Structure 1
Amino acid sequence: MCEFYDKRMGCNEERAESVSQLDKANFCDYFKPAYRTFSQPDKSKTDIAKAKFAELFGDNLPETSTSDQLLSPQELAEKKLRELLGDL
């Protein structure tokens, strides 16, 4: 999760000491969180991927309204559940 870490080569920070025992806890003064790890996925890429997946299996994508896009995942799930079960 560090900006300087590469899966193949390890740490790319020139000043950092190499870690010899990977199974033990270690601390790095140069640790910088990689924001690509924690950022939200791009909606357009997600929509494109869903469309390609649906096309592959011949499914139709459910249309989402703009109001649904403003809801949190929990609110959207609750809304879908209420639509499914109706008002009890």
Structure 2
Amino acid sequence: MKPLYCWKCHSLLTNVILPMSRREECANCGADQHVCKMCTYFDSKKGCDEERAEEVSDLEKANFCDYFKPSFVIFERPVEDKSQAAKAKLAALFSDPVPVTDQTDQPLTPKELAEKKLRELLGG
């Protein structure tokens, strides 16, 4: 049997009995697993590809869909969280795609990075 991975935290799901119970949860993050986002019929752009399935209002909560089939794909982690996206946008303002680090190899905060770049531009 192929392994199943949590759609939310991407952890390997263990001890899952198929067909998957509506009450199945991820042991790591507690997310429901009998959800639209975990189904093979789910398309993140279009929604459910199963024409006969009833519309579900919350795609991340357990549902009673009779057409649910768990997806065996390894869900990809988001490339970056909101803070990383903000840092990348700030860095892009100064033509620096990667956040700069200081002497202690700790990433600079967006404020520190902006101040550093401004000082470099002004020659200080």
| TM-score range relative to shorter protein | 0.3 to 0.5
